[in-house]
């Protein structure tokens, strides 16, 4: 039988400013740092899939005109999408979209660190 993949097991955004990106996820989204992270990265205690921000891998140039992550949809789960949206707006987060109904509950998108487009759903 051929080997198969069970699903995503780890997600990391490559960023040029790891401390600033980590602070965004901690301060605006309430993520908590894991007790240990590898050099050049900050890992958060998210579940069921661990999430991190990290320095770019060798050969990755994030200084171009293209938006980071273009073509990748990264959705984050929350218990209260409406309240989180308001917190992000009040904190001056760029490009916070309207709260919309979806099959996954209320959703909205916003511009995260370094131009990554993120979508939140739930509650």
Digit-coded pLDDT (tens) for 35-78: 999 999 999 999 999 999 999 988 888 887 778 887 788 999 99
Give DSSP secondary structure letters for 25-90: HHHTT---B-S---TTEEEE--SSS-EEEEPPPTT----SSSPTTTT--EEEE-S-HHHHHHHHHH
The torsion angles phi and psi of 109, rounded to 5 degrees, stand at -120, 160
pTM of the model: 0.86
Digit-coded pLDDT (tens) for 72-91: 889 999 999 999 999 999 99
């Amino acid at each position: 039988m051929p080997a198969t993949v069970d699903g995503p097991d780890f997600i990391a955004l490559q960023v040029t400013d790891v401390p600033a990106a980590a602070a965004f996820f901690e301060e605006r989204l309430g993520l908590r740092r894991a007790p240990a992270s590898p050099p050049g990265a900050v890992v958060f205690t998210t579940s069921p899939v661990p999430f991190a921000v990290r320095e770019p891998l060798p050969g990755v140039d994030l200084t171009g005109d293209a938006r980071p992550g273009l073509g990748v949809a990264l959705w984050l789960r929350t218990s209260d999408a409406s309240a989180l949206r308001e917190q992000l707006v009040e904190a001056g987060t760029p490009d916070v979209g309207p709260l919309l109904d979806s099959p996954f509950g209320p959703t909205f998108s916003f511009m995260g660190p370094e131009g990554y487009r993120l979508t939140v759903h739930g509650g």
